[in-house]
Homo-oligomer: A and B are copies of this chain.
Amino acid sequence: MNMIAPVTESLGRSRPRTSPKKVKELPVDTILEGDCIAEMARLPDKSVDMIFADPPYNLQLQGDLFRPEGGRVDAVDDDWDKFESLQTYDDFTREWLAEARRILKDDGTIWVIGSYHNIYRVGSILQDADFWILNDIVWRKANPMPNFRGTRFTNAHETLIWCAKDGQAKYTFNYRAMKALNDDLQMRSDWLLPICGGGERAKDENGEKAHPTQKPESLLYRILLACTKPGDVVLDPFFGTGTTGAVARRLGRKWIGIERERKYVKVARNRIDATLPLDESAMTVMADKRSAPRVAFGLLVESGMVPAGSKLTDSKRRWTANVNADGSISCDGQAGSIHKIGAALQGAPSCNGWTFWHVEEAGKLQPIDALRQKHLAAL
């Protein structure tokens, strides 16, 4: 078991500690065997970067599904049952989500997956707990189980809810990586992925499938790639056969799993041990421009890459601007930054001067952003 000190210390805030014996250091790359709420209670405040949770889909309701067809059920008792189970499920959900919220860093995010049986309870309780929904994602199953009786639409999807701790949080979203993964189109909220089967499906000692609802690694791959950075800590409070851990290890993320059932813990351990991390070069993703170091236009002027006195023009040569010695530009009697002048000329509220303005080189127009990239590469 590896240990790393939690980045943020427990602050002893409003929420009472539900357990007196909190761990001093965050246990990572390990499975905590026990009840998810009790084990979460031992983890420090604001210590994990992401939580992925695949909670039970409300076992009480599933019980109803197994009733013999045509059996006469007293309606009043049934309603009472249902109320009882929904109430119980809600209480359970509120409790583990409260712990999850406490453990999550302020800029961390949480993902919860569910079906129509439970996801509306989960979504409402997330909102009630002041989580801020960023997206809901539809996992479209490429190969769902058909509806054998022909009584409904084929239940061919599950729903994931992605939340920040509040509307102001600065969460991680690797936009360019997601765009790259989707052939240079923005990644949408509907994901088509096969269900987990074949060799990926974990087996127990008897060769039977080890877990009834094992999630595909491709699903976790996309989630972890989108919303975490290498080295981030991911918590999965309903670990099962450890899909989250396996993918986290492969992608160079740290992980914590909580699982109550010993048989699943064993399967998960073996599975993750057999998973090899990608080497660092393979782990790289398209970097967001936002995270690149800033280059002031004046720096290019200073360095002579775009000398003072040279001309800038837009791609259609509608306007020509003069470069001043201080990195400001002049056009139409106005002077200011490449962005300000670009916006003013177009009558637009804003403008990215780096892509708007061009220089002529060998008869061809080239955006000054290309020069910036050259400048960055030279460093």
Interface on A for B, CB 8 Å cutoff?
64, 66, 69-70, 72-73, 75, 78-79, 82, 86, 116-117, 119-124, 126-128, 130, 133-138, 140, 142-144, 146-147, 150-157, 159, 161-162, 166-168, 173-178, 180-184, 186-190, 192-194, 217-218, 221-222, 225-226, 251, 278-279, 281-286, 288, 293-294, 296-299, 301-304, 307-310, 322-328, 330, 333, 335-337, 340, 346, 348-351, 377-379
Contact = CB atoms under 8 A, between A and B. Distances in A.
Given A183-B294, A285-B324, 14 more contacts: A70-B351, A120-B127, A121-B124, A146-B186, A154-B186, A154-B189, A156-B188, A182-B327, A184-B337, A225-B325, A278-B325, A282-B307, A282-B309, A286-B326
A96 B192 CA distance: 35
A78 B283 CA distance: 42
Contact of A326 (B124, B135, B151, B225): B225
Nearest to A302: B218
A190 B138 contact: yes
Copies in the complex: 2
Nearest to A279: B309
A150 B190 CA distance: 16
A133 B175 CA distance: 35
A352 B70 CA distance: 11
A86 B133 contact: no
A309 B333 CA distance: 33
A138 B137 contact: no
Q: Which of A279, A297, A346, A351 has the largest number of chain B CB atoms within 10 A?
A: A297
B127 A86 contact: yes
Contact of A189 (B133, B155, B186, B310): B155
Nearest to A87: B128
Nearest to A330: B284
Contact of A324 (B282, B308, B330): B282
B167 A152 contact: no
Nearest to A186: B154
A161 B302 contact: no
Contacts of A288: 150
21 contacts: A64-B167, A66-B349, A69-B348, A72-B349, A73-B168, A120-B161, A138-B190, A140-B190, A151-B173, A153-B186, A153-B189, A180-B337, A182-B296, A182-B298, A182-B327, A194-B379, A221-B302, A225-B326, A282-B309, A282-B325, A286-B336
